[in-house]
């Protein structure tokens, strides 16, 4: 079985997000980068599926579109179960519109498949952590003619395809997809592993294939004017105390709010 | 007359709350464009027999001129391909001037399916939409007469992005809770109902819902009036016992931060935040949570926030309306004791 996972490099933001003076990007001068949680779980899920299978003709292929620095996210994936790695080189790609991103990823998938065979399953995150466009995976899957369901929090492989569970407020919905297919997964589907010693070694040795499939991808109809922070809710914090002796004041508050 | 069309996403005949918000946003857009407000509802004969009248009445309350009911046996329940294909058929036949849906799981997914099928841009999670013409007040940049000017959310609401949209048919989803659902005031217009039968191939059946499993009855994290959450400061899975007790005493639910789910102390279904659940309780009690922005966006819909933290500078503390600066392991049990004490002796107060 071959599983492809698409991950995006995103800044690891803390208590607030700063924007560059030109309003075009998140200011990352003092920030590290990470993989979005949904996609980290997608890598873990792929690794778990493949590790349960007999034989050694299985692979977890991890793809990212972005600048060269995105190899950091591929190397991390190598340390937690990824086997093959592809960088779709696109200098400003982290800020691309979703149509353009999808076109470039679609042609990269075609290239990877013509060399290495069809992917039985392609995993995306439910949405990217930064852009949150909720569509790149669906566009790619549709262009490739594969069914896709988003919001997935459970996957069981079986002979012909995959049973997928989607969380709802009260429980979950069950979907049955035949391979080849695609799924958009959510954090919580599993608990991603931490890199082990062996994983770190694998990460250093990982061979990364660089693809230029982004070169012909034209900009889509959505175009950034600027990023900015929403107005913050002004608040003055009322201190109810600095020890357990604050309990009566807290209960008074609960009483006032009518939740007691 | 031209129309702004809105997908009413529903679960077995019950519209999502987001769908009513989307109708409210689209009504303003239709007024700007001097267009009608239309609604699209997908189902099969049984669904419309059981819920059709209620769904049409709800649309009428929100000023919908025409309800288009897409009927097909493959639309008996939800499926992203079936919904996407039905919507693609609708926009081709009806030619709306814009198509809008809620940024709910189903709304977002069906719209992405529609966008993929029509190869049109889709702007997700809009909070402000100005049709073609000059850019809205306060938005810089050159006026592009053909482009729409839109503000959307990024990072789950921590950041806003102004974009231009150039498209023959603008496709938009409306960020949930960014607008309050408001029925029309005054005399209602007469709402007409028209049926269409989308041409759906058998391939759309593959992504239909096959089964459902119900796990929780009653209040959920997103509907609880009180949420008592714990973060890394709780220290262990066992450390949640006093928080459980407090939630129980208040008829609420326990939530947590991502540090907690990552440590395996609680299930991810309890996580509040960007990649967890968005909550809107009367009061949110955040214990040992620093208030990272991805946590904050899930909690900011709370009407009141009480932070319990040893660090007076923690983001959660400075943003909260109320705070206790102390060890949660001492404060939370003391609050439980105080509640029980008052309940045991109600006459003494
Ligand atoms: C893309 C992305 C999405 C994310 N989505 C989410 C999300 O959905 N939800 C989420 O929560 N996080 C999310 N995160 C993670 C987030 O950035 C933070 O890492 C996380 O919220 C931190 O959890 P915490 O506050 O429990 O831990 P910490 O940041 O470690 O804070 C612990 C707090 O406990 C206090 N404390 C310690 N001991 C005590 C004590 N005895 N009594 C009282 N206080 C004490 C400390 O002062 C501190 O403020 C996301 C991150 C990324 C990159
Ligand atoms: N630059 C990228 N590189 C790799 N995968 C991406 C990229 N952008 C988006 N994706 C994938 O598409 C999913 C949905 O993204 P979005 O439509 O932006 O919310 C993400 O969770 C990723 O799996």
- Alpha-helical regions (H) of chain A: 37-51, 71-79, 98-116, 136-143, 197-205, 247-256
Compute, in angstroms, the gap from residue A220 CA to the centroid of ligand 1: 37
Contact (CB<8Å) B214/A170: yes
Atom number, ligand 2, closest to the C-alpha of residue A5: 23
Task: Indicate the DSSP class of residue A179.
Answer: S
Contact (CB<8Å) A178/B282: no
Cα–chain-centroid distance for residue A144? Answer: 20
What is the C-alpha separation between B185 and B183, in angstroms, rounded? 7
How do strand A222-228 and strand B159-165 relate by DSSP bridges? antiparallel
Between B224 and A234, where is the model more confident? B224
User: Tokens 């492989």 appear where?
Assistant: A157
SS3 at position B57: helix
pLDDT, position B340: 96
Nearest to A259 among B135, B225, B333 (CB): B225
Residues B197-202 have a mean pLDDT of 96
Tokens of B108: 């977002």
Nearest to B166 among A13, A19, A221 (CB): A221
Residue B31, C-beta contacts closer than 8 angstroms, at least 6 positions apart:
none
Cβ atoms of B89 and B26 closer than 8 Å = no
Q: Among B153, B157, B257, B325, say which to mutate for ligand 1: greatest number of ligand atoms within 8 Å of CB.
A: B257
**What average pLDDT is seen over chain B?**
94
Compute, in angstroms, the gap from residue A137 CA to the centroid of ligand 2: 7
pTM of the entire structure? 0.95
pLDDT, position B139: 60
User: Tokens 């604050």 appear where?
Assistant: A246
Compute, in angstroms, the gap from residue B230 CA to the centroid of ligand 2: 31
Residue ranges in chain A whose pLDDT is less than 70 = none
Instruction: Evaluate: CB of B314 within 6 angstroms of ligand 1.
Output: yes
What is the C-alpha separation between B87 and B60, in angstroms, rounded? 21
User: Which pLDDT band, with edges at 50, 70 and 90, does B142 fall under?
Assistant: low
pLDDT, position A159: 93
What is the C-alpha separation between B109 and A184, in angstroms, rounded? 10
Residue A172, beta-bridge partner list = A167, B213
CB atoms within 10 A of CB A229: 12
A 141-160 residues with CB below 8 A of B? 141-143, 147-151
Compute, in angstroms, the gap from residue B156 CA to the centroid of ligand 1: 16
User: Which pLDDT band, with edges at 50, 70 and 90, does B186 fall under?
Assistant: confident
Residue B170, beta-bridge partner list = none
User: Which pLDDT band, with edges at 50, 70 and 90, does B292 fall under?
Assistant: very high
Lowest mean pLDDT among B18-32, B174-188, B267-281: B174-188
Residue B123 has pLDDT above 90, yes or no: yes
> Min CA distance, B300 vs chain A (Å)?
9
Nearest to B162 among A26, A165, A226 (CB): A226
pLDDT, position B141: 52
Nearest to A17 among B108, B158, B252 (CB): B158
Residue B136 has pLDDT above 80, yes or no: no
pLDDT, position B144: 59
Residue B29 has pLDDT above 90, yes or no: yes
User: Which pLDDT band, with edges at 50, 70 and 90, does B134 fall under?
Assistant: low
Is the bond into A180 cis (omega within 30 degrees of 0)? Answer: yes
Residue B1 has pLDDT above 50, yes or no: yes
Contact (CB<8Å) B122/A38: no
CB atoms within 10 A of CB B31: 12
User: Which pLDDT band, with edges at 50, 70 and 90, does B127 fall under?
Assistant: very high
pLDDT, position A233: 72
**Integer CA distances (angstroms), A254 to A251, B65, B246, in order:** 5, 45, 12
Residue B203, C-beta contacts closer than 8 angstroms, at least 6 positions apart:
A147, B81
pLDDT, position A67: 97
**Cα–Cα nearest to A3, from A45, A48, A41, A60:** A60
Contact (CB<8Å) B158/A26: no
Backbone angles phi, psi at B204, to 5 degrees: -70, -15
**Cα–Cα nearest to B231, from B248, B247, B253, B254:** B254
Between B251 and B217, where is the model more confident? B251
Residues of A in contact with B153 (CB under 8 A): 132
Tokens of B272: 């509040």
Residues B123-138 have a mean pLDDT of 83
Residue B317 has pLDDT above 50, yes or no: yes
Q: Is the ipTM of this complex over 0.90?
A: yes
pLDDT, position B295: 97
Which tens digit of pLDDT belongs to each residue from B64-96?
A: 999 999 999 999 999 999 999 999 999 999 999
Residues B308-334 have a mean pLDDT of 97
Atom number, ligand 2, closest to the C-alpha of residue A124: 23
In percent, how much of chain B has pLDDT > 70?
Answer: 95
Cβ atoms of B257 and B232 closer than 8 Å = yes
Which of B9, B115, B340 should one mutate to test binding to chain A, selecting the residue with the greatest count of A CBs within 10 A? B115
In percent, how much of chain B has pLDDT > 90?
Answer: 89
Cβ atoms of B218 and B225 closer than 8 Å = no
**Cα–Cα nearest to A207, from A124, A48, A87:** A87
User: Which pLDDT band, with edges at 50, 70 and 90, does B349 fall under?
Assistant: very low
**Integer CA distances (angstroms), A221 to A132, A228, B151, in order:** 17, 21, 15
Radius of gyration of chain B (CA): 23
> Min CA distance, A2 vs chain B (Å)?
21
Residues of B in contact with A230 (CB under 8 A): 157-160
Compute, in angstroms, the gap from residue A7 CA to the centroid of ligand 2: 6
Residue A8 contacts B where some CB pair is shorter than 8 Å: no
Radius of gyration of chain A (CA): 21
B108: left (phi over 0), alpha (psi -120 to 50) or beta: alpha
């Amino acid at each position: 079985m071959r599983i492809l996972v698409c991950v995006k490099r995103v800044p690891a933001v803390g208590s607030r997000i700063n924007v560059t003076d030109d309003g075009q990007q998140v200011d990352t001068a003092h920030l590290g980068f990470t993989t979005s949680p949904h996609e980290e779980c997608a890598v873990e899920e792929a690794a778990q599926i493949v590790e349960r299978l007999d034989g050694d003709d299985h692979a977890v292929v991890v793809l990212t579109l972005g600048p060269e620095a995105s190899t950091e996210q591929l190397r991390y994936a190598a340390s937690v179960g990824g086997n093959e790695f592809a960088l779709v080189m696109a200098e400003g790609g982290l800020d691309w519109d979703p149509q353009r991103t999808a076109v470039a990823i679609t042609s990269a998938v075609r290239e990877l498949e013509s060399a290495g065979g069809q992917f039985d399953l392609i995993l995306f995150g439910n949405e990217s952590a930064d852009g949150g466009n909720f569509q790149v995976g669906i566009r790619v899957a549709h262009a490739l003619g594969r069914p896709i369901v988003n919001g997935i929090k459970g996957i069981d492989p079986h002979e012909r395809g995959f049973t997928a569970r989607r969380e709802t407020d009260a429980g979950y919905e069950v979907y049955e997809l035949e391979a080849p297919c695609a799924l958009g997964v959510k954090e919580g589907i599993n608990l991603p592993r931490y890199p082990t010693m062996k994983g770190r070694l694998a990460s250093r040795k990982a061979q990364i294939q660089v693809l230029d499939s982004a070169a012909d991808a034209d900009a889509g109809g959505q175009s950034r004017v600027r990023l900015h922070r929403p107005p913050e809710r002004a608040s003055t914090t009322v201190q109810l105390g600095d020890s357990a002796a604050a309990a009566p004041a807290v209960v008074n508050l609960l009483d006032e709010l009518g939740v007691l | 007359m031209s129309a702004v069309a809105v997908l009413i996403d529903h679960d077995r005949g019950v519209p999502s709350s987001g769908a009513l918000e989307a109708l409210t946003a689209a009504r303003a857009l239709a007024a700007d464009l001097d267009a009608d407000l239309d609604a699209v509802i997908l189902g099969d004969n049984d669904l419309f027999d059981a819920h059709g009248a209620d769904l049409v009445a709800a649309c009428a309350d929100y000023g919908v001129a025409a309800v288009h009911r897409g009927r097909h046996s493959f639309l008996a329940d939800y499926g992203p391909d079936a919904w996407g294909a039905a919507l693609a058929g609708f926009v081709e036949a009806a030619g709306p001037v814009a198509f809008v849906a809620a940024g709910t799981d189903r709304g977002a997914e069906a719209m992405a399916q529609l966008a993929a099928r029509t190869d049109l841009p889709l702007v997700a999670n809009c909070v402000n939409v100005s049709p073609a013409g000059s850019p809205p007040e306060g938005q810089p940049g050159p006026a592009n007469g053909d482009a729409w000017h839109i503000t959307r959310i990024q990072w789950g609401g921590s950041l806003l992005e102004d974009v231009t949209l150039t498209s023959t048919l603008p496709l938009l989803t409306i960020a949930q809770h960014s607008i309050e659902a408001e029925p029309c005031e005054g005399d209602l217009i007469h709402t007409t109902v028209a049926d269409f039968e989308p041409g759906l191939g058998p391939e759309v059946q593959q992504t239909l819902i096959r089964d459902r499993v119900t796990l929780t009855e009653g209040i959920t994290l997103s509907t609880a009036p009180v949420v008592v959450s714990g973060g890394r400061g709780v220290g262990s899975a066992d450390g949640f016992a006093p928080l459980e007790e407090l939630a129980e005493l208040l008829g609420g639910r326990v939530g947590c931060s991502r540090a907690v789910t990552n440590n395996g102390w609680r299930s991810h279904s309890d996580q509040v935040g960007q990649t967890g659940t968005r909550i809107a309780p009367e009061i949110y009690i955040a214990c040992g949570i620093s208030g990272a922005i991805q946590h904050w966006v899930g909690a900011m819909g709370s009407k009141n926030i009480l932070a319990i933290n040893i660090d007076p500078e923690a983001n959660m503390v400075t943003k909260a309306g109320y705070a206790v600066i102390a060890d949660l392991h001492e404060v939370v049990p003391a609050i439980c004791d105080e509640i029980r004490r008052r309940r045991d002796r109600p006459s003494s107060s």
